């Protein structure tokens, strides 16, 4: 936890129309089944098999047969959602003031509305975790240490504690020593990821740090249309940070502000085929893509040694080639029957 937290202000200090828009957006999102599932997992302090599927502990005994959150957690979330006074929620004053000072008709207003919505959702998730989980938190158990013997890995009897303090974590947001709510904030970044499709981050303007373009794969070249406060999502498990299209931004805002009760939720959002994708390790330090400087510590990165590997899902062209190859092989097999 930080030694001196920044000043805070309640949502109720916003002017009427600004407050109405963020309140409607947050409540609309919280009313979705996706949000109920995510917040129930926060209350349980445990993910389901689905939300843990890319993590190394996805097959552990505590998660066996856990296909959905507990009924107790669902009931708790529904009660909490109906009773909570959103106007009393306090956020960092700069988030409140920046949103308030942005005119409704300004081009960047949608991004500011998304920003304050993400911060509200994050804060609610952190508070819920704090009230429903208590130390020692549920977390992955120790693992047997593996050492190399004559060039071969060998499992030892020595147990190595888990490096993560809770099952609910995003691999890139583990700096609880700088978070106002500590481990609860770690769980809140996890909640953002599984609700929105990634931690909500923004392009914050030109960065003086220049990244050698000859070291970058084509999908991560510098932004072709640098605009203040472009909106990005930062997924987990080595998936690349990706920029939301204007249509996706409209979906995000429109669902909360104008969405009919029967309208389907756009969340979690996924990257469009030709969107800008950034390597998580350098998104903050080299591209100035983040929400707050205190989201995570910036590590020293040796660009020349950076592992440019990633997930195939982040290369849509390659995915299409693989799919075409599968179809061709299937057709060839059928023709031979």
- Residues spanned by the domain of 79: 8-306
Classify residue 335: in a domain, yes or no.
no
Query: How large is the average pLDDT for residues 279-295?
Result: 89
Classify residue 260: in a domain, yes or no.
yes
Residue with the bigger pLDDT between 145 and 317: it is 145
pLDDT tens for 217-265 read 444 444 444 455 799 999 998 899 999 999 999 999 999 887 666 678 9
Q: Is 36 exposed, middle or buried (0-12, 13-18, 19+ CB in 10 A)?
A: middle
pLDDT of residue 1 exceeding 80: no
Nearest to 77 by CA among 41, 130, 117: 41
Classify residue 244: in a domain, yes or no.
yes
Predicted confidence at residue 263, as pLDDT, reads 76
Our count of domains for the chain comes to 1
Q: Which two tokens stand for residue 134?
A: 């208590």
- How many helices (H) and strands (E) the chain has is answered by 9, 9
pLDDT band for position 210 (50/70/90)? very low
Classify residue 142: in a domain, yes or no.
yes
Predicted confidence at residue 267, as pLDDT, reads 95
Classify residue 325: in a domain, yes or no.
no
User: How far, in Å, CA of 225 to CA of 261, rounded?
Assistant: 35
> Minimum mean pLDDT among 56-60, 88-92, 137-141: which range?
56-60
* pLDDT > 70: percent of the chain: 83
Classify residue 3: in a domain, yes or no.
no
Classify residue 332: in a domain, yes or no.
no
Average pLDDT over the chain, rounded to whole? Answer: 86
Predicted confidence at residue 98, as pLDDT, reads 94
pLDDT tens for 114-126 read 999 999 999 999 9
Classify residue 24: in a domain, yes or no.
yes
How far from chain centre, in Å, is Cα 26? 16
Query: How large is the average pLDDT for residues 156-166?
Result: 90
Q: What is the dihedral of CA 319, 325, 331, 334, to 10 degrees?
A: -100
């Amino acid at each position: 936890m930080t030694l001196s937290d920044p000043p805070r202000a309640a949502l109720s200090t916003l002017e009427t129309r600004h407050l109405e828009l963020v309140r409607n957006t947050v409540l609309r999102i919280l009313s979705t089944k996706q949000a109920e599932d995510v917040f129930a997992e926060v209350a349980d302090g445990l993910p389901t098999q689905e939300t843990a599927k890319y993590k190394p502990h996805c097959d552990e005994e505590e998660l066996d047969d856990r296909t959905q959150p507990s009924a107790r957690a669902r009931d708790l979330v529904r009660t909490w959602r109906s009773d909570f006074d959103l106007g009393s929620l306090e956020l960092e004053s700069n988030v409140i003031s920046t949103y308030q000072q942005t005119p409704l008709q300004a081009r960047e207003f949608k991004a500011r509305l998304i920003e304050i919505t993400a911060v509200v959702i994050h804060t609610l998730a952190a508070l819920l975790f704090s009230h429903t989980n208590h130390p020692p938190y549920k977390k992955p158990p120790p693992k047997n240490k593996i050492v190399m013997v004559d060039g071969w890995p060998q499992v030892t009897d020595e147990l190595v504690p888990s490096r993560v303090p809770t099952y609910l974590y995003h691999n890139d947001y583990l700096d609880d020593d700088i978070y106002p709510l500590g481990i609860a904030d770690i769980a809140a970044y996890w909640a953002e990821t599984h609700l929105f499709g990634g931690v909500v981050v923004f392009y914050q303007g030109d960065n003086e740090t220049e990244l050698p373009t000859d070291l970058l794969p084509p999908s991560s070249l510098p932004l072709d249309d640098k605009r203040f406060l472009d909106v990005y999502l930062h997924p987990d498990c080595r998936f690349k940070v990706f920029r939301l299209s204007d249509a996706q931004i409209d979906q995000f805002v429109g669902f909360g502000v104008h969405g009919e009760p029967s309208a389907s939720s756009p969340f979690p959002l996924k990257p469009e085929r030709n969107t800008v994708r950034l390597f998580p390790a350098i998104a903050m330090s080299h591209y100035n893509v983040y929400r707050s400087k205190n989201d995570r510590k910036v590590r020293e990165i040796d660009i020349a040694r950076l592992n440019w590997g990633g997930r195939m899902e982040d290369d849509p062209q390659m995915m299409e080639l693989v799919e075409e190859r599968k179809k061709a092989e299937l057709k060839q097999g059928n023709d031979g029957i």
